[in-house]
Structure 1
Amino acid sequence: MSVYGVQGEDRSDYTKEESKQIRARSRRLLGSLLRPHIGRVVVTMILVVIAVAANIAGPMIIAFGIDHGLPAIMQQADWLPLWGATIVYVLAAIVGGVLMFVYTVSVARISQTVLFDLRRRLFDHAQRLSLEFHESYTSGRIIARQTSDLESIRDLLDQGLNELVRGILFMGFTAVAMLILDPLSGLIVFVALIPAVLLTRWFQVRSTKLFRETRTTSARMIVHFVETMTGIRAVKAFRKEPANQREFDQRVDDYRDANFRTINIFGIYEPGIMSIGAITLATLILVGGLRVVDGTLEIGALLGIALYARNFFQPIQGIGMFFNGYQAASAALEKISGVLEEEPTVREPTQPKSLPASRGQIDFDEVEFSYGADKTVLPDFDLHIPSGQTIALVGTTGAGKSTLAKLISRFYDPTEGAVKLDGVDLRELANDDLRRAVVMVTQEAYLFAGTVADNIALGRPGASAEEIEMAARAVGAHEFIEALPDGYDTDVAKRGGRVSLGQRQLLSFARAFLADPRVLILDEATASLDIPSERLVQEGLTTLLADRTAIIIAHRLSTVAIADRVLVMEHGRIIEDGSPDELIALGGKFASLHRAWRESLV
């Protein structure tokens, strides 16, 4: 597991050791991203050094032209020094411009390649993480990792690092050039750097805290927005709009206040740097002018120094702005590295056993399962389900029925004991073999963007149109599909918005039928159907469940009637086991549930 864990990502009370581990983890991730491009990075750095040096040479060339070229013309009628300075100046400008263009393009290519790799890595890893992670990690946070956090890293790679590298090189070469032209002027600039560095340090410390606060309030605002829009049906059903609006307004206010505090320090920093630069330039011109008068400084050197001094402090502002991008990208990289360091709790075996043709026999051998240290759902559970048998699981909410289904599907692994398919521990099976052998249909019946045919074909990619239609006919979905505007080519729109809840469930049945698993699990799969649709599906279920092992979890006992065997669960244990007729005759828990269901139909 990562240092963060899925719950502690936004904490601010890390110990020094935890913070050190987090930074080391981020550096490892960044190193792994840049390592394949190290050669291009080195070449790019060489290019920018040459480009900046060529641009910095301009004022020195101008100073040479004035101090040596003009006297040569006036005294000796020799135009060569001036023409030479002019040609060198033009060539330096061309070389600097071309190399800076190549550098900028190269940096952009490196950053886009790194971001492409990181996006793919994050998406791939998030898909491989176990269901436990996704049930703990909110959707808004995982969306933020793929959007705003990656954008922060992109801004740093595309702009921030560019500003930093160019700024440092520009200031370094400028300082050297000024020392060459006039050591005293260089000393004045170095003295002026002291307050500039102190102001920049103050800005860095303050901005680190304020930018983190801005990012935190922004993330909270985005998460609230995403979760509200994702659960908009529940929001409207329970009339939560006013409460949600008040909470969102508060989070927007927090974000606005954090931004105002950030703007305030910029209002101090940027004018401060500009003032230092202006005072330094005035001092250089005053001191340099007096020295020109007494003949200790050439006029061309003074002009070159003034040109250098005018632009010397500008990169400091860019370097100060770099801290903004750096802090945002650093925090984003920490969060992304935290997700990438999460390990699946359900792992594919390194040397899986093959299962070419499953029979569908399921065994629970002394299984114990807990969602947490103090939440044991299945204590010492044993169960044998022969191949081809249809099992119905009934019981009150929280009895452990869905947990049983998740263990068979290997969404989770048991804490103790083993769940076996045809005598093979599920932890020893390859995921591909397990997914072909076991399919679960849930109440959610999620449909992806695309056509009706595309969604049915998820059960078996590459299935023909005839096979898709046959699956739809088998579960009673063909008639309503044909009535859609474009039949099987109808786009279901976002999350199946063009079809009803019951129709989505029928499509999920068709998908499962096409997959043709040996073990089929129906977890409240008929709960969304109305009575006529349920009766139609009952006929389809007879076809769907034939010649395969089936586990049906249902509160509607009409679905249970087609089961060969009913298991009544209570607190993670089986309290009754038998055929529906046997349990009704027994007069126990199932009989009372069945009686209550019959009375509800009257």
Structure 2
Amino acid sequence: MSSSSVLGVSGEERDDFSTEESRQIRRRSLRLLGSLLGPLKVRVFWTMLVVVVSTAAQVAGPALIAFGIDTGLPAVVDRADWMPIVLIVAVYLVTGLIGAILIAWYTVLSARISQAILIDLRKRVFLQTQRLSLEFHESYTSGRIISRQTSDLDSIKELLDSGINQLVSGFLYMSFTGIALFLLDWTSGLVLLVSLIPLFILTRWFQKRSQSVFRETRVTSARVIVQFVETMTGIRAVKAFRKEKRNEATYGDLVEDYRDANARAIRLFGFFDPGLVLIGNVTVAAVLLVGGFRVVDGAIEIGALLAAVLYTRRFFDPMEEMAMFYNSYQSAAAALEKISGVLEERPSVPDPTSPIDLWEARGHVAFEDVRFAYNADSVVLPNFTLDIPAGQTVALVGTTGAGKSTLAKLISRFYDPTDGRVLLDGVDLRQLHPKDLRRAIVMVTQEAYLFSGTVADNIAIGKPGASLDEIKRAAEAVGADTFIEALPKGYDTDVNKRGGRVSAGQRQLISFARAFLADPSVLILDEATASLDIPSERLVQEALQTLLADRTAVIIAHRLSTVAIADRVLVMEHGRIVEDGTPADLISGSGRFARMHAAWRDSLV
């Protein structure tokens, strides 16, 4: 497993990272941030130029006021010369206007940059979660994935929309203000410089405390979302087992944890904000006191003192906004850590670097000395060899955990074998071009998942771009056309969420029509009739006769009525084939399948 897996998936809900892990996470986040900003370098340059000029225009105000008081007013009083004061007022108004226009422009430019980054990031997360192998999705809960796409991206959005503006403009404003103060009066500048010592201590304390606090808020937020999503997803089980009270207690505890984490963050700001105000007020008072004595001594003009006080006051104005930025930053940084962890995950079933094309697959499947384990403690197939000739229908039966579904997942290449090879027409699936693999091998599961959209849309998944005539022929071939035509809008009927408008048997027929339209060389049916009642199963059985014709088929079934249509039955136990023969031969024998068949037959009486 890659380091990104350790830091991204299995460790993502932790908050006790080691120093080295934290460094790796930060480097990973910075790489992601750099890749997002890379295509936007020109936009970022112009945005920075605009904000620098606009900040300089804003900072010029107090200096112009000082010049007006110390130079313009004496000219009016002593010589009745209004020109200097008029020019100063005009320049003040022009700089204010320029600053306002550039700030508006900067806001638009920065918003475009933030939206471009968010669009890129949303696409990356979506494409990555689709690209990752089944192993990832079986270990990474849907609630956590949703949290990445919702609350985590919202935190980054908040940072980009307002936080970055606050940081950049605030930092530049403070820098330019400090420089202007030193140029105006270096003594006042030294007073301001001394105030940076307690300011640095307070800010450093806040940073250290808030880093862990804000990461904790992200972790607790994700846990709340995970619990909510999983409860709603499994609402039928919740209702069936009267789990509402237990869920209420669990969710209540998680919400309490989230509230407590936010309360700790708020308490930090409750100390930090007043501290900033106190340091700012004391510094202004010190500048005014020192400047007052110097005015009496004639070392500084009153206008210059007023400008110094204004600059000192303005220097601290952005600090509270920058503190709020740090709030957004910590939240967004924690979110970026989790997102970067997902984006750096590598598929456990990677696409081949030099793929082999197989335009017309016959359907010959072979396992050569295959060993497979989900983990070191769970070896499902210890040493498995099997040959399925093209066009043969094979039924896999056996107890739960015998390895039947694992076999199907290996044929579909949802997983790769730990050792050995799985071949299609003599080509290792790991070397087969992904498009050829997906075209040649199709799996139909008992869930028969239907997506939002029409019946026609769901059947067309088997062959994107298929015409309505092709869709109808596929439905007719598996016997689904009768009930589809009876729907309110026929093939244009919206199936609603997860196919709620149609029954389980009808959903299964739609999935068969989808598979028929795809026309694979190898068809895998994983418990495709397990959830059906007897009338629905008989309807589906008729469709299977058409669906399995002239193609290789692997049927996994507990219901032995489905097995009867197979050419060959494989009985599996603990990852090994213990019986292999035709249904008739195995039934007439005295082995496990014969006993299973006898028990099934007795259950029907």
Q: Same fold (TM over 0.5)?
A: yes
**Which one of the candidate residues 474, 492, 496 is aligned to 2:495?**
492
2:598 aligns to what? 595
Give the TM-score normalised by the residue count of structure 2: 0.97
| The 10-residue stretch of structure 1 (559-568 or 343-352) with the greater mean CA deviation from structure 2 | 343-352
C-alpha displacement of 1:290: 4.3
Paired residues of 1:369 and 1:414 also in contact (CA < 8 A):
yes
Match of 2:60 in 1: 57
Q: Is residue 2:259 matched to residue 1:256?
A: yes
Instruction: Note closer, same or farther for the CA distance 1:100–1:235 as it changes in structure 2 (3 Å cut).
Output: same
Note the alpha carbon deviations across 1:280-306, whole angstroms, 9 max, x for none.
323333443444345433222222223
Deviations 1:487-521 (A, max 9, x none): 11111111212222222111111111111111111
The match for 2:520 among 517, 520, 533 is 517
One-letter amino acid matched to 1:29:
L
Within 5 A, what are the aligned runs for 1:107-186? 107-186=110-189
Partner in structure 1 of residue 69 of structure 2: 66
Paired with 1:416 and 1:310, the residues of 2 have a C-alpha distance of: 70
Matches within 5 A, 1:327-342: 327-342=330-345
**Matched residue of 1:146: which SS?**
helix
Per-residue CA deviation, residues 88-124 of structure 1 (Å, 9 max, x unaligned), is 1111111111112222211111121112111111211
CA apart distance, 1:315: 1.2
Q: How does 1:22-421 map to 2 (within 5 A)?
A: 22-421=25-424
How far does the alpha carbon of each residue in 1:45-66 deviate from its partner, in whole angstroms, 9 at most, with x for none?
A: 1221111010000111111111
Quick check: 2:508–2:540 contact (8 Å CA) kept in 1?
A: no
Cα distance, 1:158 vs structure 2: 2.1
| Aligned 8 A contact 2:217 2:258 in 1 | yes
Matched, 1:432 2:442: no
CA distance in 2, matches of 1:325, 1:288: 38
Alpha-carbon distance in 2 for matches of 1:161, 1:346:
39
Taking only the aligned residue pairs, the percentage that are identical comes to: 67
The answer on 1:6 being equivalent to 2:5 is: no
Where 2:494 maps in the other structure, the secondary structure is coil
Secondary structure at 1:266 match in 2: helix
The one-letter amino acid of 2:304's match is A
Q: C-alpha displacement at 1:227, in angstroms?
A: 1.1
Helix, strand or coil: the match of 1:459?
coil
2: CA distance, partners of 1:299 / 1:518: 91
Residue 530 of structure 2 is matched in structure 1 by: 527
The letter of the residue matching 2:339 is: I
Q: Which residue of 2 aligns with 1:557?
A: 560
Q: Relative to 1, partners in 2 of residues 1:257 and 1:13: Cα closer, same or farther, differing over 3 Å? A: closer
Match of 2:483 in 1: 480
Aligned length: 602
Instruction: Give per-residue Cα distances to partners, 1:230-289, cap 9 Å, x unaligned.
Output: 111111122111111100000111111121222112112112211222233233334434
Alignment-mate amino acid for residue 33 of structure 1: L
CA contact (8 A) 2:455 2:492 kept: yes
The secondary structure found in structure 2 opposite 1:428 is coil
- Residue 41 of structure 1 aligns to a residue in which SS? helix
Structure 1 pair 106–512 and aligned structure 2 pair: CA distance change class (3 A):
same
Do the aligned partners of 1:400 and 1:572 also contact (CA within 8 Å) in 2?
yes
CA contact 1:456–1:514 (8 Å) conserved in 2:
yes
SS of the residue 1:313 aligns to: helix
CA contact (8 A) 2:363 2:424 kept: yes
CA distance in 1, matches of 2:587, 2:365: 26
Q: Is the 8 A contact 1:208 1:323 kept in 2?
A: no
Q: How does 1:553-592 map to 2 (within 5 A)?
A: 553-592=556-595
In structure 1, runs of 5+ residues without a counterpart are none
Looking at structure 1, the residues matched to 187 and 367 of structure 2 have their Cα atoms a distance apart, in angstroms, of 86
SS at match of 2:7: coil
Query: 2:602 & 2:237 partners in 1: Cα distance?
Result: 30
Aligned-partner Cα distance in 1 for 2:217–2:467: 53
What does the per-residue CA deviation read over 1:527-558, in whole Å, with 9 as the maximum and x for residues that have no partner? 12111111111111111111111111111111
Asked if the contact 2:156–2:336 (Cα under 8 Å) also holds between the matched residues in 1, the reply is yes
Structure 1 position 428, deviation (Å)? 1.2
Using the TM superposition, name which of 561-570 and 482-491 deviates more.
482-491
Conserved 8 A contact 1:355-1:429: yes
Q: CA deviation at 1:341?
A: 1.4
- Normalization by structure 1: what TM-score? 0.97
Deviations 1:71-93, CA, capped at 9 Å, x for gaps? 11222222221111111111111
Deviation of 1:380 (Å) = 1.4
Partners in 2 of 1:454 and 1:55 — Cα distance?
58
State the alpha-carbon separation in 2 of the partners of residues 260 and 438 from structure 1. Answer: 54
CA apart distance, 1:193 = 2.7
> CA 1:5–1:69 in 2, change beyond 3 Å: closer, same or farther?
closer
